[in-house]
Structure 1
Amino acid sequence: MASNIYLNGSTNGDISKSVVKEKESNQFKLIGKNEIHDFIIDCMTSVGTSEKHSKALADLLYTADYRGHFSHGINRLFNYVEDVSSGACNKDGEPIILNETQSIAWIDGNNLLGPVVGLYCMSLAIEKALNTGIGYVTCKNSNHFGIAGFYSLLASNRGLIGIVCSNTSPCNVPTRGKDIVIGSNPLSVNAPGLFGDYFSLDMATSVVAFGKVEMNQMMGLDIPKGWGVDSKGEPTCKHDKILKGGAMLPLGGEEITGGYKGYGLAMMAEIMSGIVSGSDYGPHVKKWTDKSRPANLGHSFLVINPNMFAPNFEDRMSDLMDNLRNSNSLEEQHRVIVPGDLARSHMKEADKQMGVKYHTNQISSLNSLADKIGVNKIKCAL
């Protein structure tokens, strides 16, 4: 099942179905959508977050898990609760427009929850693209905004191309370097095809998202070689050595295998998100665990209306995707896919089982959080 493939940090089908089924039956429990959503809202409102902002966060976190991005779903709830309860993030308010034209806007996120800021900015960029053909909105003074694909998907749902990126707390070493000076800076691109089909790229510019190391730690699994290095810069398969003083590698890994390309993409996201917006950037962004001051992250939202250019964009997008899907695969049981197909498969399975399956260790952690902040524990359907 796709969920467990994602959870183990692999998207190439290298886990046998029998192993997946065994893990499902012993270590994973089903939780319904409404239960997840309500639990997140209860947790956030219990620490003073407004109902509106709590709902925005719940929509984002559930969507991440629903699409199979468990590293950025309810796994991140602990951090959002800490951000608000510590005062590092504002509990209520609205983003502020600092400068605006027909096609661009510069926003102050007012130190609000990242999903609140992200939704505001993306909605504004979509409106401008529908009116002028292009909308570019960048913001400063925001916080962790979850999966970048949540926002670019909003654009493709309107027949538009969405390109989203953000900077993050430093967790990567640059190519040829050993200091942790840049984030895993995510990048997402969504483009619509015919009949609800779409291209959906949602990726970290590190080998994998930092949260996938945390997920493997939670499940007691080692990580594949090539994800990251220890505090001395040596490759490691031990999650603790990355989480305690180590770092992620840029997409591509070492220089000889193309790591400089991932490093370049991380810098691109940093320029578009941090430098352009006037937020903190690179090594100036606070550490993820530092709750003593605002994060002041920057995000970038670019929306393009393809209907302003060559006609029949969606027809040609679908033709491209179908040609790729129908090309010859190396193994018959693992056909060629395009970005977004695994997420659709995961959503289809979640709809079928009427919920999302979570590792029992994660459920235990969530219930410990519930006890700590005084809300009802999460209930499993199975």
Structure 2
Amino acid sequence: MAKIVTIREVRRFIIQSLRAAGGRDAQCEDLADVLVAADVRGHYSHGLNRLEMYCEDYQRGTSDKDASPVTEKETAATALVNGNNCLGATVGKYCMNLAIQKSKEIGVGVVTAKGSNHFGIAGFYGLMAKEAGLVGISLTNTSPLQVPTRGKVCTLGTNPISVIAPALGDDYFALDMATSAVAIGKVEVQRRKGEELPAGWGCDVNGIEAKDATDVIVDGGLFPLGGPEISGGYKGYGLALMVEMFVGILSGAHWGPHIRKWQAPNETRTADLGQFFMALNPAVFGEGFSERLQLLMDYHRALEPIAGVDSVLVPGDPERSHETLCRDSGGIPYHEALIRDMGIFAEKIKVDPMETLD
């Protein structure tokens, strides 16, 4: 049964928890923005589900609560940013704001970051660009959680790709996807709920497809997007390597198997994640970008769907639907297991637990 929590209450809980773990106000607020946006958009794997991990990073000193990102190298259209091991949400906001500024001045801004940490949903930063009337692209590497096609050892992260672009009115295109079959957080959610994994999500220590979430999380790994090789997983593997080229290799950050395992026991190394942000002004290209994008999306939405579903969707439609659900519900609906676990965590970190509407 779902439990509804107001957005204001969720944000309060996140900020107080991060402060209790030693976080500073600005970084706590940055992360609260990202985590709340994830849950409002239905990406529960990257919202409250991640809060305890961020708090533990502060407590263990594996991210620097006093640091700030700095620009180390810059041209009119590009920049290299050193995140100085501060919270990934703060690094991401800094970088995308810089990319937006450059895009407004000359049409495009490309910023890479090193020395960063987990920055939440990649789509958050593309939405920043979209709000400025720009196309936003964001990429990141992560802890090695994905096995390469034909392999059984994790060498790549979930390495997400997000591309978001404004259409007409409040409508927009919003691709936000892992290059693994799913994000590891979705496997964690299945384990929290005590449910089996769908086919094609991940493998055990021998590279064999697994149904038990624990087999994937503890000793196994995620399959690339597409699952095993026979169903096209090599394409997801190629995309993951492409992202790694743009983030870890281009920025000079850690890459692939050299990145620490997030939350691994006794792991004290900094993450040094690599990230990539682009803001593109469509006005410097062909006329009528937003109008033409709207036509493209509406054409597909108007197609006759297969039996058993209401409509053909375009990237961003499920997220907008979940945003409407939250608005109509007066808050964010959470699985009761997550509310229970957050109550335990609240007691542990000594903050007031979240209050639900029911």
Q: TM-score category by the smaller chain?
A: over 0.9
Residue matched to 2:82: 108
Residue matched to 1:325: 301
CA deviation profile, 1:204-252 (whole Å, cap 9, x unmatched): 0001111000001111111101100011111111111111101000001
AA of the residue aligned to 2:4: L
SS of match in other structure, 1:196: coil
Distance in structure 2 (CA, Å) of the matches to 1:380 and 1:175? 44
AA of the residue aligned to 2:314: V
Q: How does 1:63-212 map to 2 (within 5 A)?
A: 63-212=37-186
Residue matched to 2:314: 338
Offset, 1:332: 6.1
SS of match in other structure, 1:271: helix
Distance in structure 2 (CA, Å) of the matches to 1:143 and 1:332? 41
Kept in 2: contact 1:182–1:282 (CA 8 A):
yes
Offset, 1:334: 2.2
AA of the residue aligned to 1:379: E
Residue matched to 1:364: 340
AA of the residue aligned to 1:377: P
Distance in structure 2 (CA, Å) of the matches to 1:333 and 1:243? 32
Residue matched to 1:5: none
Tell me the TM-score normalized by structure 2.
0.98
1:237 counterpart (211, 235, 245): 211
Distance in structure 2 (CA, Å) of the matches to 1:238 and 1:332? 29
Distance in structure 1 (CA, Å) of the matches to 2:340 and 2:42? 20
Q: Does 1:304 align with 2:280?
A: yes
Distance in structure 2 (CA, Å) of the matches to 1:293 and 1:277? 19
Runs of at least 5 residues in structure 2 that lack an aligned partner in the other structure: none
Give the aligned length. Answer: 356
Kept in 2: contact 1:53–1:92 (CA 8 A):
no
Runs of at least 5 residues in structure 1 that lack an aligned partner in the other structure: 1-26
Provide the alpha-carbon RMSD of the alignment. 0.9
AA of the residue aligned to 2:334: Y
Moved over 4 A (4+): none
AA of the residue aligned to 2:295: D
Q: Does 1:286 align with 2:260?
A: yes
With 62-71 and 47-56 compared, the bigger mean Cα shift is at 47-56
Change over 3 Å in CA distance of 1:252–1:93 after alignment to 2: same
2:199 counterpart (225, 247, 255): 225
Q: Does 1:355 align with 2:319?
A: no
Q: Does 1:271 align with 2:245?
A: yes
SS of match in other structure, 2:254: coil
Offset, 1:254: 1.4
Offset, 1:378: 1.2
SS of match in other structure, 2:72: strand
Offset, 1:153: 1.0
AA of the residue aligned to 1:90: D
Residue matched to 2:351: 375
SS of match in other structure, 2:139: strand
Residue matched to 1:14: none
Kept in 2: contact 1:31–1:355 (CA 8 A):
yes
Offset, 1:289: 1.6
Distance in structure 2 (CA, Å) of the matches to 1:93 and 1:179? 34
1:55 counterpart (19, 25, 29): 29
Kept in 1: contact 2:204–2:210 (CA 8 A):
yes
Distance in structure 1 (CA, Å) of the matches to 2:307 and 2:262? 41
Kept in 2: contact 1:251–1:261 (CA 8 A):
yes
SS of match in other structure, 2:152: coil
Distance in structure 1 (CA, Å) of the matches to 2:172 and 2:116? 28
AA of the residue aligned to 2:234: Y
Distance in structure 1 (CA, Å) of the matches to 2:67 and 2:207? 42
Distance in structure 2 (CA, Å) of the matches to 1:300 and 1:146? 14
Residue matched to 2:187: 213
Offset, 1:302: 1.2
SS of match in other structure, 1:140: strand
SS of match in other structure, 2:169: helix
CA deviation profile, 1:340-366 (whole Å, cap 9, x unmatched): 001000000100111011111111111
Offset, 1:92: 2.4
1:45 counterpart (15, 19, 27): 19
Change over 3 Å in CA distance of 1:381–1:233 after alignment to 2: same
Distance in structure 2 (CA, Å) of the matches to 1:35 and 1:155? 27
Offset, 1:97: 0.8
Distance in structure 1 (CA, Å) of the matches to 2:304 and 2:357? 40
SS of match in other structure, 1:320: helix
Distance in structure 1 (CA, Å) of the matches to 2:187 and 2:6? 25
Q: Does 1:250 align with 2:249?
A: no
In percent, how many aligned pairs have the same letter?
Answer: 46
Distance in structure 2 (CA, Å) of the matches to 1:380 and 1:328? 40
CA deviation profile, 1:89-145 (whole Å, cap 9, x unmatched): 011231011101110000000101110000000000011011111100000001000
Residue matched to 1:314: 290
Distance in structure 1 (CA, Å) of the matches to 2:274 and 2:256? 11
SS of match in other structure, 1:225: coil
